[in-house]
Amino acid sequence: FLLPDGNGELIPLGALSWGELKAGKVWTLVTYMFLHGSLFHLAGNMLVLFFSGRGVLAMLGRRHLLIIYFGGGMVGAIAQVLIDKDVPLIGASAGVVATLIALAALIPEQVVYLLLFFVIPVRMKMKTVALVVVVMDLAMMAGELLGVFSLGIGNLAHLGGALFGWLYIKRGLSGSGRRTAYSEQAGRWLNRF
């Protein structure tokens, strides 16, 4: 469903835009995460969320996973909308990237196997996976700013989500003995591999 936003532009119902926020529709900071542009967009996000979310859930629990996902999604959305006010934002990517980066911050040395293009097996440490995701987003953002290409991807949303996920693990879990409990739980989880 397409509806006019606060600026008179037609956007999908529940999408986030600067006009929607100016019109007081703050709930779009959450609803945009449940909309996707295509089945491939949805499947890609859900696949990454399934694997990274399982790890965060096993180590930190449901409450922290939800904070990372929704917090990363909202911080990423704000970053994207403040800089690129003209384009409506949809997709769970900012929250998914926050979850992936949080997992990489929790277990940076863990080796994982990925299928590049769903065919080529690649072996990497989680910290390398996180670095590749961030560098790709920076490169795509630079390409769009320089006018080399226009992919219509919310790279700033991804980077905002990545920053939130990393800061949540590095700063949010550092107090009052949480690190010790996390370390013990992470050790038990890693022994399952």
Confidence of residue 119 (pLDDT cuts 50, 70, 90): confident
**Mean pLDDT for the chain overall:** 83
> pLDDT by residue (tens digit) across 123-159?
999 999 999 999 999 999 888 878 787 777 888 999 9
Q: Compute and round to an integer the Cα radius of gyration of the chain.
A: 17
Q: Is the pLDDT of residue 101 over 50?
A: yes
188 Cβ contact partners less than 8 Å away, ≥ 6 residues apart: none
Q: How far apart are the first and last CA of the chain?
A: 44
> pLDDT by residue (tens digit) across 38-55?
888 889 889 999 999 999
Tokens of 36: 């996707």
Write down the residue that tokens 């590049």 correspond to: 116
Confidence of residue 176 (pLDDT cuts 50, 70, 90): very low
Helix (H) or strand (E) holding 154: none
Average pLDDT over residues 158-175: 89
Contacts within 8 Å (CB) and 24+ apart, 20-27: 20/88, 21/81
pTM, entire model: 0.82
> pLDDT by residue (tens digit) across 56-74?
999 999 999 999 999 999 9
Return the beta strands (E) in 23-101 as ranges. none
5 vs 36 pLDDT, higher one: 36
